[in-house]
């Protein structure tokens, strides 16, 4: 069990560029979650997957955001046409099932200049 891995740890991009983040969950965890966190706030739910199916998306997830989990293992979160308001920590978490605790990665910090 190597924990939830996120890549990259930091990303600086210019406004208008596209960015993609990757999350590798704990092996055999069926559920995978994406959260966003800004300074001084708790993590905000974005979306989650049960295996490869995306079951819920927050209203925070505008049409510029898309997430995939193609084979039910790793997941990617893409932000198109980034805006300065997208600057945040993007956290990924995984769990075995709904009742199991979430295991979080250490996040990808995005800075949009």
Partner 1 sequence: DAKTTQPNSMESNEEEPVHLPCNHSTISGTDYIHWYRQLPSQGPEYVIHGLTSNVNNRMASLAIAEDRKSSTLILHRATLRDAAVYYCILTSYNTDKLIFGTGTRLQVFP
Find how far residue 12's CA is from the centre of its chain.
16
Nearer to partner 1, 19 or 36 (CB): 36
Q: Closest distance between partner 1 and the C-beta of residue 52, in Å?
A: 16
Question: Could you say whether residue 85 binds partner 1 (CB under 8 A)?
Answer: no
Q: Which of 18, 62, 106, 111 binds partner 1 (CB under 8 A)?
A: 106
Q: Closest distance between partner 1 and the C-beta of residue 81, in Å?
A: 26
Residue 68 and residue 48 in contact, taking contact as beta carbons nearer than 8 Å: no
Question: Could you say whether residue 103 binds partner 1 (CB under 8 A)?
Answer: yes
């Amino acid at each position: 069990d190597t924990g939830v891995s996120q890549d990259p740890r930091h990303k600086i991009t210019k406004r208008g560029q596209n960015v993609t983040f990757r999350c590798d969950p704990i092996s055999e965890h069926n559920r995978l979650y994406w959260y966003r966190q800004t300074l001084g706030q708790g993590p905000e739910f974005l979306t989650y997957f049960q295996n490869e199916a995306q079951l819920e998306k927050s209203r925070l997830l505008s049409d510029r955001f898309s997430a995939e989990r193609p084979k039910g293992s790793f997941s990617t979160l893409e932000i198109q046409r980034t805006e300065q308001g997208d600057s945040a920590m993007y956290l990924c978490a995984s769990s075995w099932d709904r009742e199991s605790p979430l295991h979080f990665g250490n996040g990808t910090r995005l800075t949009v200049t």
